């Protein structure tokens, strides 16, 4: 099941946390343990501490009593281990901390978040989304996940060089995005031969603007060429597919924020 947008900023933190947990678990020798413990302390200061306290503040009241208690307990245990690294400089237990962190994140993703998604009201989730937008903004310049700010630019109040971003992107799919309370914009980039398979978006109209390179968009059987500066409005309910003819081919999709839920399924590269 796709994560509710209100919880996605926490889940993006979890991606960083799982990578860190893995390197804590697998550090092969003392030198590597020392290095990864140093990384963990840095992560604690710039992200993890904030993540823990925001989960307790925002998710605690939405969770059952038992789950809220487990959340606080596991945070406390992990925080104590991390503090011990700082005060003793003893790094022999990195694998234990890695496993605690890993298991904690897995529990949140597999049990806590689904339980909240199932029991919270729409108003709860909308309030939560406004709060986690703030969390996302604080991660904008994260040294732990430098690409995250590029992908989720929620403060695009300055001029953005879309063509430059499209040329700089090296992987396919969403290359940059911004979101306001009302609007969602995503810069999508493909290599030649890639694109989006035919699908129907029933939720909102999409305005598509060509940014870089050339591609073909088929809307309800009608073929349109997309080039930089071209604009195409795709009404909701229409079937559309996208195919890149150059590397890169990039375009900006703009729509009401509601379609966030759609992008996951529709954004996988389809080689043809
Ligand atoms: Fe947590
Ligand atoms: Fe978490």
Q: What is the pLDDT of residues 14-39, one digit of tens each?
A: 988 998 999 999 998 888 999 999 99
Q: What is the pLDDT of residues 71-120, one digit of tens each?
A: 999 999 999 999 988 888 777 789 999 999 999 999 999 999 999 999 99
Residue 259 and residue 205: Cα distance in Å, rounded?
9
* Per-residue pLDDT tens digits for 42-69: 999 989 999 999 999 999 999 999 999 9
In this structure, the dihedral spanned by the alpha carbons of residues 67, 73, 76 and 81, taken in order and rounded to 10 degrees, is -110
Q: Which superfamily does CATH assign the domain made up of 162-266 to?
A: Jelly Rolls (2.60.120.10)
Q: How far is the CA of 76 from the centre of ligand 1 (A)?
A: 10
User: What pTM was estimated for this model as a whole?
Assistant: 0.58
Q: Give yes or no for a contact between 40 and 85, defined as CB atoms under 8 angstroms apart.
A: yes
Say how far apart CA 64 and CA 58 lie, in whole Å. Answer: 13
For residue 105, report the distance from its CA to the centre of ligand 1, in Å. Answer: 6
Give the domain ranges of the chain.
Answer: 5-148, 162-266
CA 30 – ligand 2 centroid, Å: 28
Counting ligands in written order, the one closest to the CA of 13 is 2
Ligand minimally distant from the alpha carbon of residue 11: 2
Query: In 10 A of CB 199, how many CB atoms?
Result: 12
All residues at 6 or more sequence positions from 256 whose CB lies less than 8 Å from its CB, including other chains: 182, 183, 184, 204, 205
CB-based contacts of 28: which residues, under 8 Å, 6+ apart? none
- Tokens at residue 264, please? 């996951």
Paired strand residues for 208: 232, 253
């Amino acid at each position: 099941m796709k994560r509710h947008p209100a919880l996605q900023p926490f889940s993006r933190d979890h991606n960083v946390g799982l990578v860190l947990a893995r390197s804590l678990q697998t550090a092969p020798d003392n030198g590597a343990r020392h290095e990864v413990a140093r990384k963990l302390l840095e992560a604690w200061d710039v992200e993890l501490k904030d993540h823990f306290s925001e989960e307790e503040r925002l998710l605690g009241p939405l969770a059952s009593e038992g789950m809220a208690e487990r959340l606080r307990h596991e945070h406390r245990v992990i925080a104590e281990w991390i503090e011990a690294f700082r005060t003793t400089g003893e790094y022999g237990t990195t694998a234990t901390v890695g496993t605690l962190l890993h298991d904690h994140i897995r529990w949140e993703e597999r049990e806590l978040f689904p339980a909240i998604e199932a029991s919270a009201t729409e108003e709860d989730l909308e309030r939560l989304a406004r709060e986690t937008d703030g969390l996302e903004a604080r991660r904008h310049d994260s040294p732990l996940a430098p690409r995250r700010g590029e992908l989720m630019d929620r403060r695009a109040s300055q001029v953005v060089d879309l063509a430059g971003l499209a040329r700089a992107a090296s992987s396919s799919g969403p290359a940059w995005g911004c979101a306001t309370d009302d609007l969602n914009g995503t810069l999508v980039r493909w290599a030649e031969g890639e694109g989006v398979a035919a699908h129907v978006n029933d939720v909102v109209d999409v305005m598509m603007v060509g940014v870089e390179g050339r591609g073909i968009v088929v809307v309800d059987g009608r073929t349109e060429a997309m080039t930089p500066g071209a604009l195409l409005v795709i009404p909701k309910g229409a079937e559309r597919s996208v195919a890149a003819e150059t590397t890169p081919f990039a375009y900006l999709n703009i729509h009401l924020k509601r379609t966030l839920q759609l992008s996951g399924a529709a954004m996988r590269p389809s080689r043809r």
